[in-house]
Structure 1
């Protein structure tokens, strides 16, 4: 009987290991993570929003659509976030800025940062009004700018130009670092911005990649992924047969680069690091 029980336990353990992405430990629960940096990529449909949180600081990168903003705010409250050190909007398209007014109205925010792109839209106007109501003047970030939140640092890698034809190429691309662990947030970067990053000579290597533009494929996507070589890649999108996202070519290229791939349509993705080791869960 004892031998049979041991055999069953070994089989269960083997099954659990088989379900865990290679090279990445499973994090049982975000609540169990003590200290370090926890990054939560929220399930926002085809939209972006990610929380970077240490014991002392909380930074939100993008806020999804208007509806997603309500979800993100509720999750922030569930997680015990009482204030944000910073709200960073990578670019003012509705799937990134649409929920920003909800966040600003629902939580104290100390600072706001934006990229170089300006558009006249309902969502942008609501964001501007919410900023004014909160008494905030947003700072425009550009390549080379650095932000520090205790042991968490952020560096703006791009864009380095402002004359791109495609508005998505004016998205802020950010690299976050905590200890030896790096996160690359590629916003909605498309071919030209990806090429700029590849040609810039900047170190793109990162343990975690927020995949560009909801998992859409570009001619140089595979080259970009090989430059980053992520252990974990997160694609913020909903599986959509119409848009064919995430693109199968992107999934193959990410896995070829060695990444365990998570799609937020399956739920929030949580990545925790103590500065050396990495754990992911969904």
Structure 2
């Protein structure tokens, strides 16, 4: 995997802190319609894992394995998923932001799967979950990077175009979520972590291309995300949310679902569908659901 040199500011801040599936049934075949990217061979499999009220997505290609977020701090179901999907190492581990339902299990994932690189937004919290993550990062050999809007990275045949955050962090953990479009050939995937209206507006204001075939609904499908102006820019064919049944947050929100459906997206969610898997050859894609 291409080596990425992380900014020294992040590791300096770490040192300061440390010193003081069952059978898949339903399938939807869709033609991807974005601009041409790098030529690809073989299949990419993107699994939106059912980790309850948290987030974790696994990306597998012939050349790279990428994990985006690591689920809740109080549930370890992610390890069952990774074992079932035959993961033994990670080329890239992305933490969209340091809330415990996104970085939970992060320390154990780093220790067990030894990622070559880790992306993190640079914000800090005082939670024990976050401090355990920092301990694991310091003990690892992973390169640590803080990607910012406007940058692009190549990870094997995957291209990552960064949309958020800007170089100047706001300090709002949700709105500083690392957000990006991941391209595999002509098929594109948008991830925005828990980004809410302010960062959705900031992404639109950058003028960067936002259209994507598959969109993971921001903030677990909350009404605070997936606003109409943002959906008009993204125009997804498929939208996927990650949430647990009868959660106390009311995820997914009815307004957010309506806004996504209004642009013609087919909606899938871990509550009804379990793990949702996208398979693509870079030209077309299929949606498979666990239930």
Q: Same fold (TM over 0.5)?
A: yes
Cα separation, 2, equivalents of 1:22 and 1:37: 15
Cα separation, 2, equivalents of 1:261 and 1:151: 27
Length, aligned pairs only: 255
Following TM superposition, by how much is the alpha carbon of 1:35 offset from its aligned partner in structure 2, in angstroms? 2.7
Pair 1:216 & 2:232 matched: no
Question: What are the residue-to-residue correspondences of 1:73-152 with 2, within 5 Å?
Answer: 73-152=79-158
Q: Pick from 273, 278, 282: which aligns with 1:271?
A: 278
C-alpha contact (below 8 Å) 1:182/1:208 kept by paired residues: yes
- 1:123-145, CA deviations, whole angstroms, 9 ceiling, x for partnerless residues? 11110111223233522221122
The farther-off stretch of 156-165 and 198-207 is 156-165
Cα separation, 1, equivalents of 2:201 and 2:120: 22
Cα separation, 1, equivalents of 2:131 and 2:266: 38
1:230 maps to 236
Cα separation, 2, equivalents of 1:22 and 1:113: 32
Following TM superposition, by how much is the alpha carbon of 1:240 offset from its aligned partner in structure 2, in angstroms? 3.1
Q: Which has the higher helix share?
A: 1
Q: Pick from 163, 174, 184: which aligns with 2:190?
A: 184
Secondary structure of the structure 2 residue equivalent to 1:106: helix
Cα separation, 2, equivalents of 1:219 and 1:94: 19
1:58 maps to 65
Following TM superposition, by how much is the alpha carbon of 1:219 offset from its aligned partner in structure 2, in angstroms? 7.8
1:255 maps to 261
Change (3 A) 1:62 1:107: same
Cα separation, 2, equivalents of 1:148 and 1:224: 25
Q: Which runs of 5+ in 2 are unaligned?
A: 1-25, 33-40
C-alpha contact (below 8 Å) 2:226/2:260 kept by paired residues: no
The farther-off stretch of 236-245 and 179-188 is 236-245
Structure of greater relative contact order (alpha carbons < 8 Å, 6+ residues apart): 2
